[in-house]
Structure 1
Amino acid sequence: MTAADPALLARAHDLGIDTDYVDVHQQRHDADPDALAVVVEMLDDDVAGDGTPVFDPVVIVRADAHGATSGNEFTLLGSARARVTDIELELADGTRLTPTVLTDGHAIGVEGSLPLGCHTLRLDTADGPGTTTVVCPPHSMLTRGPWHGGSGLFVPAYALWDHDQPLPSFGLLDRLARALGTLHTEVLTTLPLYATFLDHPFDPSPYAPASRLHWNEVFLDDHALPVAPLEPQGRYLDWAGVGARRRRQLVEAVDSLDASTHEQLDRFVADRPDVAAFARFLTERAAASGSPTPDDPARDDPGRIRRSHELAQFLADRQLGELAAGTAAGTSAGLAIDLPIGCHVDGYERWAHPELFADGCTIGAPPDLFFTEGQNWGLPPQLPGAGRRSGHRLWRDLLSRAGEHAALLRIDHVMAVHRLWWVPEGFGAHQGVYVRYPSNELLAVIAATAAECGTVVVGEDLGTVPDEVGALLDEWEMLGMHEEQFHMTPSMMPASGLADIPARSVTGIRTHDMQPFAAFVAEQDVRGGLAEYRARLGRELGRDIGESYPEVLDAVLEWLARSPSALVTVDLDDLTGETEHHNVPGQVLASNWGRRLARPLSELLDDPDIRRRLTLLGTRPRA
């Protein structure tokens, strides 16, 4: 590989592109010059979109430790030299104010303190009009809720089924949340619940959603829709078959809506223009791809198809709202979901906001211990400049939509607020380059929007995280993660004792991408890899820990329950001794993202060992 031209390196630096990176072995790697040149050209075009801004597109007015924004003045930065001639501030709740323009024409005064949230400042100057997003975040992230110091249960929504409901549904999530409320378990954690492509293309991965603003219609309660034949489901959910069946049900349901429901649906869509846009997007895609299938009576009526997509989002919002209402009433566990780092390359977000995304590039990760050639996740990256010019509107919309129903939201790969690994088309994943983002602005937007929703945000910060990212998350006091299974083998354990568990974390045994705990214990038993961990754990608990899986599981849960962590969660699979993965990262397997529970939900909830272990976590000492 030839060395990069110094002028190219200088331009990359100016654009916020890292010209090298340090790997997990602390070895430095220079960026591939050809890949670097491609990304520089992309970001040159992105910067050109800025033109000559009248004022900076984003300004942060951060609250103090007592919750008040710092005074009632803020300064606009930008190129304008003329005084502001007209100005209006629209608050997040729609209230409109007329701020005072102070002496220099750049300082803005507002009567009283600004409320938390993201507000829009519109102004006119002799240099032209301008818009600035005024972000008013709390002093730190919201980290406490009724669940603080408590426990949670993780289960993928697609895995749920019961004797009376053979398909996964929001209703089964609600049933489980209500049952957990009686078991001292405050949080029900699941994977992303967003819409996915289940026809052309077919990709049921919850981390490559068709949209991160709209819910997956497969999870609608079956009893709320017309009766339809259902093929028996085996070990794995038949995503394609269930998705096609659900489409037919929804189209048929449109014809049976009464006047009152039509009126409610009209109001819902009017209040959410994105729902109408999403329905149009899916309808146009179906027509372009030859879908629906010839046996679908709606194939010649795009109006019915579009209405069926609107109906799906309306029903999903109502059904998820029932779960959230139970949480608010204190009768159900709160819902925790994941926000994927991106949307499918053919998804709604890129269709609706093409100006926000880079063409000819996807995101991933550089080579590491597990993926020696790097990773390409196939998701389009958002352009840093375009995101700023929009006032980070997409981030705000994503947080707001999730916050309507989620008590906690885990941001996948939170390092993305700082930098993302861009892989240009035609290059290998190992040839990508890091592109930086305005991290402090993004965290301010996340904090402000989450505060408006009352949602606690958790940053997935596992693996190697640069020091500057850790420092930034510390500054904002964002909850991170701790997974004990990472720290159980000799090579990963500290010199003595057990790994520290941070108080500002959500803690568990493992994530959904890791080996099931029962399989991990069995594998380590063969290698003798858990002997030292069991010995150290036994010293902490004051007793010997046996080799059997139930003994190891109970001891680990007891240890986690004693931790200062804000929340301790456990995977239902680990309570049942399941040995098959939810997902094997980096491999396209038919078993990924579809394995159903081995037993119906009601039987699992009656299992005395599961109830005992949930109670152990649920009665942990509160800080």
Structure 2
Amino acid sequence: MSTRDLSRADLHTLAAAAGVMVDWVDASDQPRQVSEQSLHAVLTALELPAATATQREDSLRRCKAQAIEPAPLLTVQVAALLPVSVAPDASGRWVDDSGASEQARADAQGQVRAPQRFGYWTLQIGGLTQQVAVAPQRCFSVADACGLPAPRAWGMALQVYSARSIDDGGIGDASGTVEWVRHAALAGADALALSPVHASRPVTSGYSPYSPSDRRFLDPLHAAPVRVLGELALDAINEVPGLRERFDTLHHSALIDWPASAQAKWQLLRHLYTRVAADHADLVAFRSEGGAALEGFARFAAQDFGDGDPQLHVFTQWLAARSWSDAQREAHERGMKIGLIADLAVGFDPNGAEAAAAADTVLRGLVLGAPPDAFNADGQHWGIGAYSPTALRRSGYAPYIALLRAVLRDRGGIRIDHILGLLRLWVVPEGASSNEGAYLAYPLHDLLNLLALESWRHRAIVIGEDLGVVPPGIREELSRRGVMGIDVLMFTRDDNGAFVSPTLWRPDAVATTTTHDLPTLTGWREGRDIDWRRKLELIKPAQASDDVTARSKDLARLDAAVEHAGLSAANDPLLGALRFTATSVSPLALLPVEDALALEEQPNLPGTVEVHPNWRRRLPDPLPHARLSTALQGFAEARRVAAVSEPHP
């Protein structure tokens, strides 16, 4: 073997030890291998230099040492054997986080079995003290929420910023969301899935809910002051000179002007801050409960927004938190079994508050993206940060646990964007092209255990966005752990391109007609996505022509499938498609608001920034109530009929 071959072999050995995947399979099911140059760059960013044989040996030695370091927190499932060994027949105590305890005993081989009750425990036995997260076998489910063995629940999916309500200043908020809670609940829905409402950095130009400053905290731009402060908030809008006029103008715009609306809403928030006493009892309690994490976030935000007053940001977090807890309360009062479903972004702004708060556990010199595929030859460069898998383990997963608790608070469920991030993430060295990245492995077993545990502690369902390329066996493992996937109508085809009957869709996935990154059903039927890509020169004219031809065939296939299922609606193919989706065997079906209203344009067009109005479209004013009523009634009725007609064991 040549010196170069030895060097390459050593490099690959080091990469494997560091969790960097040398070999991977692309979207076309073709094997790919990360270049040596990319491996060097990624390993260097992970502080594992590999330029020389000595460096590779030293870096490999460090990886091996890290792998055998005692873990501050072990995760196991209930009644499972722990990966520890003590003296045979040793006895001790299990102590949970409430102080309650029970006996611990090692078997004849010195192995210890976890308690039957899930929770966070401390094991004290034979001189060993070990923190252990004991997880249930699966996440809290729709069946658990509904109290039914085979539920056929349904709900809606809302882009929060798009909703309209009086005095929203041009950006949808919790008040506008509550209006959709009412629409959905009245029709019998049990859930309303939301776009992310994470805390953002100051809005100076574009905006994306998937590039937050801090996922642990909320965006005050979506707070609903009137729902928390009542008349005080109404009066405040009129007290600030010119604010009423600006609020009215921004409210009626078809597209959100994020900088202008953010400026107006922050002007209101700052004025309200001066009107609410610092010793307001609930605000004081909120500040105390938030502790060091809230104070740290507030200090960062005060500097980031340039106002220098951390207590302002404590106040706005209180306002946002109480707005959303009030919305969830109303959802339950109106009969929703699940209520609001939060959306958890896959990462965060590398220069934002979350990165600053967890500086010791954040990847440095690497950002997230996606590898090349048929739609993006150069891959995707998301420019967002993530946690280091090694540092997460070393921290006892503290940032991850805190994140789950924050996002699940006052929610009935969570949708995790890019659920494969619990297994691997495509990391790209800063300044490099996306195709120069590599997959970095994450501790799926531990992360799923903690997710299941927090899911039950909050009684919240879990949805994992699993679209795209998924390694073999992963969907099965997610299903086993109670993480529902997502089945999207336009992707549920057989090998010949025909649409599969919804009775054959996955029984462990959420059914939906579309997502925020895909065309609406109306837009898909009219080819709006093709029009946009042709207009923006994302595809060539010849490709656009081929896509139009293919789309025509797809429409015929869908209409045929709907007719075969006996769900066609006279002169209303959209309604037929909604009914078709609603008959899925999924425990939960979600109807996006855009499809309920038969809107043409999609919320986001991936691969674009300023040339398409991403995250800016507001819902029509006034709403087409007749269309909405028809869609909700049709979806709900098809869901009920499917539940009744389905044979049960």
TM interval, short-chain normalised: 0.7 to 0.9
Alignment of 1:210-229 (within 5 A): 210-223=213-226, 224=229, 225=233, 226-227=236-237, 228=240, 229=243
More deviation, 32-41/501-510: 32-41
Task: Report if the CA contact (8 A) 1:161-1:600 is conserved.
Answer: no
Within the candidate set 19, 29, 34, 1:31 is matched to 34
Taking the aligned partners of 1:457 and 1:166, their CA distance within structure 2 comes to: 32
| DSSP 3-state at the match of 2:77 | coil
Q: CA deviation at 1:77?
A: 3.5
Structure richer in helix, relative to its length: 2
Q: CA deviation at 1:619?
A: 3.3
Which residue number in structure 2 is paired with residue 55 of structure 1?
70
Q: CA deviation at 1:146?
A: 2.2
Which residue number in structure 2 is paired with residue 118 of structure 1?
120
Taking the aligned partners of 1:90 and 1:215, their CA distance within structure 2 comes to: 34
Task: Report if the CA contact (8 A) 2:255-2:616 is conserved.
Answer: yes
Which residue number in structure 2 is paired with residue 172 of structure 1?
176
User: Cα RMSD (Å) of the superposition?
Assistant: 3.4
More deviation, 424-433/503-512: 424-433
| DSSP 3-state at the match of 2:189 | coil
Taking the aligned partners of 1:278 and 1:10, their CA distance within structure 2 comes to: 40
Q: Relative to 1, partners in 2 of residues 1:538 and 1:218: Cα closer, same or farther, differing over 3 Å?
A: closer
More deviation, 592-601/219-228: 219-228
Which residue number in structure 2 is paired with residue 505 of structure 1?
509
C-alpha deviations, 1:284-311, integer Å up to 9, x for none? 223xxxx34xxxxxxxxx3xx2111101
Q: Relative to 1, partners in 2 of residues 1:134 and 1:198: Cα closer, same or farther, differing over 3 Å?
A: same
| DSSP 3-state at the match of 1:362 | strand
Within the candidate set 10, 16, 25, 1:22 is matched to 25
Q: CA deviation at 1:264?
A: 2.4
Q: CA deviation at 1:41?
A: 3.5
Which residue number in structure 1 is paired with residue 536 of structure 2?
none
Q: TM-score, normalised by structure 1?
A: 0.84
Which residue number in structure 1 is paired with residue 553 of structure 2?
529
Q: Relative to 1, partners in 2 of residues 1:236 and 1:198: Cα closer, same or farther, differing over 3 Å?
A: farther
Q: Relative to 1, partners in 2 of residues 1:100 and 1:575: Cα closer, same or farther, differing over 3 Å?
A: closer
Which residue number in structure 2 is paired with residue 298 of structure 1?
none
| DSSP 3-state at the match of 2:20 | coil
Taking the aligned partners of 2:495 and 2:18, their CA distance within structure 1 comes to: 42
Given the alignment of the two structures, is residue 312 of structure 1 paired with residue 316 of structure 2, yes or no? yes
Which residue number in structure 1 is paired with residue 287 of structure 2?
269
More deviation, 478-487/467-476: 467-476
Alignment of 1:472-551 (within 5 A): 472-487=477-492, 492-493=497-498, 500-523=504-527, 528-534=552-558, 536-542=560-566, 551=572
Q: Relative to 1, partners in 2 of residues 1:534 and 1:27: Cα closer, same or farther, differing over 3 Å?
A: closer
| DSSP 3-state at the match of 2:373 | coil
Alignment of 1:394-413 (within 5 A): 394-413=399-418
Task: Report if the CA contact (8 A) 1:561-1:620 is conserved.
Answer: no
Which residue number in structure 1 is paired with residue 609 of structure 2?
588
Task: Report if the CA contact (8 A) 1:605-1:611 is conserved.
Answer: no
Alignment of 1:146-225 (within 5 A): 146=146, 148-162=151-165, 167=170, 168-199=172-203, 202-223=205-226, 224=229, 225=233
Q: CA deviation at 1:432?
A: 0.8
Alignment of 1:17-416 (within 5 A): 17-43=20-46, 55-63=70-78, 69-70=79-80, 74-77=81-84, 91-92=96-97, 94-95=98-99, 97=101, 102=106, 113=115, 115-119=117-121, 132-144=130-142, 145-146=145-146, 148-162=151-165, 167=170, 168-199=172-203, 202-223=205-226, 224=229, 225=233, 226-227=236-237, 228=240, 229-230=243-244, 231=246, 232-233=249-250, 234-258=253-277, 261=280, 263-273=281-291, 274-286=293-305, 291-292=306-307, 302=308, 305-332=309-336, 334-416=339-421
Q: CA deviation at 1:353?
A: 0.7
More deviation, 168-177/510-519: 168-177
Taking the aligned partners of 2:67 and 2:579, their CA distance within structure 1 comes to: 59
Taking the aligned partners of 2:601 and 2:443, their CA distance within structure 1 comes to: 40
Q: TM-score, normalised by structure 2?
A: 0.81
Task: Report if the CA contact (8 A) 1:160-1:600 is conserved.
Answer: no
More deviation, 353-362/215-224: 215-224
| DSSP 3-state at the match of 2:340 | strand
Taking the aligned partners of 2:353 and 2:91, their CA distance within structure 1 comes to: 36
Opposite residue 585 of structure 1, the aligned amino acid is P
Q: CA deviation at 1:435?
A: 1.0
| DSSP 3-state at the match of 2:439 | strand
Which residue number in structure 2 is paired with residue 295 of structure 1?
none
Q: CA deviation at 1:240?
A: 1.4
| DSSP 3-state at the match of 1:358 | coil
Q: CA deviation at 1:55?
A: 3.0
Within the candidate set 419, 431, 436, 1:431 is matched to 436
Taking the aligned partners of 1:60 and 1:95, their CA distance within structure 2 comes to: 19
Within the candidate set 454, 459, 465, 1:454 is matched to 459
Unaligned runs of 5+ in 2: 49-58, 528-546
Q: CA deviation at 1:105?
A: 11
| DSSP 3-state at the match of 1:198 | coil
Within the candidate set 555, 580, 587, 1:566 is matched to 587
Q: Relative to 1, partners in 2 of residues 1:102 and 1:592: Cα closer, same or farther, differing over 3 Å?
A: same
| DSSP 3-state at the match of 1:321 | helix
Aligned residues with identical type, % of pairs: 22
C-alpha deviations, 1:284-341, integer Å up to 9, x for none? 223xxxx34xxxxxxxxx3xx2111101111222121112223333535711121110
Opposite residue 263 of structure 2, the aligned amino acid is A
More deviation, 390-399/484-493: 484-493
Unaligned runs of 5+ in 1: 64-68, 293-301
Which residue number in structure 1 is paired with residue 531 of structure 2?
none
Q: CA deviation at 1:442?
A: 0.8
Q: CA deviation at 1:171?
A: 1.9
| DSSP 3-state at the match of 1:513 | coil
Q: Relative to 1, partners in 2 of residues 1:24 and 1:492: Cα closer, same or farther, differing over 3 Å?
A: farther
| DSSP 3-state at the match of 1:570 | strand
Task: Report if the CA contact (8 A) 2:525-2:555 is conserved.
Answer: no
Q: Relative to 1, partners in 2 of residues 1:492 and 1:251: Cα closer, same or farther, differing over 3 Å?
A: same
Taking the aligned partners of 2:92 and 2:297, their CA distance within structure 1 comes to: 34
Q: CA deviation at 1:399?
A: 1.7
| DSSP 3-state at the match of 1:528 | helix
Opposite residue 344 of structure 2, the aligned amino acid is L
Taking the aligned partners of 2:129 and 2:370, their CA distance within structure 1 comes to: 35
Taking the aligned partners of 2:100 and 2:47, their CA distance within structure 1 comes to: 36
Opposite residue 591 of structure 1, the aligned amino acid is P
Q: Relative to 1, partners in 2 of residues 1:535 and 1:53: Cα closer, same or farther, differing over 3 Å?
A: closer
Q: CA deviation at 1:91?
A: 2.9
Taking the aligned partners of 2:356 and 2:327, their CA distance within structure 1 comes to: 31
C-alpha deviations, 1:42-67, integer Å up to 9, x for none? 4455966976976333323313xxxx
Q: CA deviation at 1:31?
A: 0.5
Opposite residue 146 of structure 2, the aligned amino acid is P
Task: Report if the CA contact (8 A) 2:87-2:106 is conserved.
Answer: no
Taking the aligned partners of 2:66 and 2:567, their CA distance within structure 1 comes to: 68
Task: Report if the CA contact (8 A) 1:535-1:545 is conserved.
Answer: no
Taking the aligned partners of 2:614 and 2:447, their CA distance within structure 1 comes to: 32
Task: Report if the CA contact (8 A) 1:150-1:620 is conserved.
Answer: no
Taking the aligned partners of 2:311 and 2:136, their CA distance within structure 1 comes to: 40
Which residue number in structure 2 is paired with residue 297 of structure 1?
none
Within the candidate set 462, 470, 474, 2:475 is matched to 470
Q: CA deviation at 1:394?
A: 2.1
Q: Relative to 1, partners in 2 of residues 1:543 and 1:378: Cα closer, same or farther, differing over 3 Å?
A: closer
Q: CA deviation at 1:408?
A: 1.6
C-alpha deviations, 1:492-549, integer Å up to 9, x for none? 437x867931111111111110012112112288652235414541453247777x6x
